[in-house]
Amino acid sequence: VNAAGERVFDLTAEEGTTEFTPGVATDTWGYNGSYLGPTLVAKRGDDVRINVGNDLDEATTVHWHGMNLPAEMDGGPHQTVEPGASWSPNFTIDQPAATLWYHPHPTEKTEHQVEMGLAGLFLLQDDEESALNLPRSYGVDDIPVVVQDRRFDDNGQFVTDVRGYIGPIGDQLLVNGTLAPYLDVTSDVVRLRLVNGSTARLYDFGFSDGRSFDLIATDGGLLREAAPMDGIRLSPGERAEILVKMTPGETVKLQSTPPDLGTSASAATRNAGDDTLDVMELRAADALSSIGATPTTLANIVPLDKADATTDRSFTLNGYTINNRLMDMTRIDETVEAGATEVWTVDNAMPLPHNFHVHAVQFQVLRVGTESPPAELSGWKDTIYLEPGVRYELIMQFAEYTDPNFPYMFHCHMLAHEDAGMMGQFVVV
């Protein structure tokens, strides 16, 4: 905490090497290290300042994915940090406890920079979440699980030119930057913060013995109540917090089984929809500490009301365009009034996978096609998978931060698509 009362973090993007396999140095990038970056933690009400440095040979930006903040602090393509330069955004945390993340967002280079290893978690806390009986000892019973697929060549370097339609697809998983990880479990309940940190691949996370788990939070924070399930699909950029029960001495694997892409079988095959991958092995000790029962009520989420919406907008994703337009840094696509509640209807017009992410706001899902949203889409979201041919109706209330000069982004979070132009800009005025 500095003299101005700000909680200060330092993040410098740098090049390095990482030994994912002992004795094999892979060229990688990271923040304050060679791969990924530190987990930042802040509490609702905190004023934060992040001193961002760039020791790379190319320009970068750092975007706070899921954060409600002024547009100039957002770290999108307009907040470029040139090599050797620095940038120090500051903002006040004003949203519920959640698992957010940060990553680069430079024009046409986002996929490459994330692929090289630039990403990290930004965990938010608040009094409501802190008062609940939930595991929250970071690294002990509250575990980040940042999942990324990668492919290595014979020299142990990342191969980035093997692509499906959705972008580069790896055949091995790095979890928090580690191949084939395991976790020594010491409590009877473990909280896993699942983050799809991949540039393109979708996952359907579950356990090797089919056991069910409780979903407690999605992108923007806790659900109203824990939802038991045995699998959860996450597309790039989406997060989920789950609680899994363990018994003494047992071993079970967190896995990803073929996600339902909502496409034809052949499209699924071409888009890595057929793969079963081991994510992490959980190894329970012979004696486990007791966390106790999961609270039945988690968060008070007030439903946003369609009757309060002042504007409806529709977005159709097709090719690499949104509403038939490619990203243009000089064009503002949408102008939103500060504080407004809006309904955004989103369609994926292709028979292939896309998803949709909106900066600076958390939305609620009103309809998935003609249905009410399932449990995993019943809380706060900032990124959503778009099954082809299904119409998604989202409702969101924008904050009061106005800025006619700096826009926020909305885009497909399959990063090759974003880089190809599947992105638009909105200002809040």
Per CB under 5 A, the list member of 299, 386, 414, 420 interacting with Cu ion is: 414
- For the beta carbon of residue 40, count every other beta carbon within 10 angstroms: 20
- The Cα 229–Cα 247 span in angstroms is 18
> Which 3 state secondary structure label does DSSP give 388?
coil
**239 is a site residue for ligand C2O (CB under 6 A):** no
> Which 3 state secondary structure label does DSSP give 416?
helix
Out of ligand C2O, Cu ion, none, which partner does residue 150 contact, by CB within 5 to 8 A per kind? Answer: none
> Which residues in 99-118 contact Cu ion (CB under 5 A)?
none
- The Cα 184–Cα 251 span in angstroms is 10
- The Cα 101–Cα 122 span in angstroms is 5
> Which 3 state secondary structure label does DSSP give 373?
coil
Out of ligand C2O, Cu ion, none, which partner does residue 411 contact, by CB within 5 to 8 A per kind? Answer: ligand C2O
**65 is a site residue for ligand C2O (CB under 6 A):** yes
> Which 3 state secondary structure label does DSSP give 415?
helix
Binding mask 346-375 for ligand C2O (x = CB under 6 A): -----------x-x----------------
Q: How far is the CB of 95 from ligand C2O (least distance, A)?
A: 16
Segment lying near ligand C2O (by CB under 6 A), choices 16-24, 195-203, 333-341, 408-416:
408-416
Q: How far is the CB of 235 from ligand C2O (least distance, A)?
A: 12
> Which residues in 338-367 contact Cu ion (CB under 5 A)?
354, 359
Contact 50, 73 (CB under 8 A): no
Segment lying near ligand C2O (by CB under 6 A), choices 194-202, 227-235, 264-272, 406-414:
406-414
> Which 3 state secondary structure label does DSSP give 264?
coil
- The Cα 82–Cα 56 span in angstroms is 9
Segment lying near Cu ion (by CB under 5 A), choices 238-246, 324-332, 387-395, 416-424:
416-424
Contacts of 25 (CB under 8 A, 6+ apart): 17, 18, 19, 156
Out of Cu ion, ligand C2O, none, which partner does residue 417 contact, by CB within 5 to 8 A per kind? Answer: Cu ion
> Which 3 state secondary structure label does DSSP give 357?
strand
Per CB under 5 A, the list member of 11, 30, 50, 65 interacting with Cu ion is: 65
- For the beta carbon of residue 9, count every other beta carbon within 10 angstroms: 20
Nearer to ligand C2O, 106 or 262 (CB): 106
What stretch of H or E contains 270?
A: helix 265-270
> Which residues in 66-125 contact ligand C2O (CB under 6 A)?
103, 105
- The Cα 58–Cα 199 span in angstroms is 20
Q: How far is the CB of 102 from ligand C2O (least distance, A)?
A: 8
* Residues within the interface to ligand C2O (CB under 6 A): 63, 65, 103, 105, 237, 357, 359, 409, 411, 413
* Residues within the interface to Cu ion (CB under 5 A): 65, 354, 359, 412, 414, 417
